[in-house]
Amino acid sequence: MVRQLKDRVVGLIDRYKSQVDFLAIRLERSHGTDIFLRSGKVETLSTGISIGGQVRVCHRGGWGFASFNGKKIFRLFCVFTSLCW
């Protein structure tokens, strides 16, 4: 999964780097554990993985920034950029 996202980011950078002054795409994956206590006793214990990222672009002196989280949002971003550029 992460390898596929990384390959997609590299493809996006290769595709658009000649059209902009600056382009940075950052992906982040984090692991987390949540422990909820009530009256000193464990009520809920859960773990999870989060995926998100950000895009920074400078085009003709104008800066743009977008952040996203979740796999579906990133896929929508990829589709959107391929339609708009």
The DSSP H or E segment spanning 63 is strand 62-69
CA separation (Å) from 24 to 11, 37, 49, 68, 82? Answer: 12, 40, 23, 14, 16
Contact 48, 32 (CB under 8 A): yes
- Structure confidence by residue, pLDDT tens digits, 8-65: 778 878 888 888 999 888 888 888 999 999 998 999 999 988 878 888 889 899 998 8
Model-level pTM greater than 0.85? no
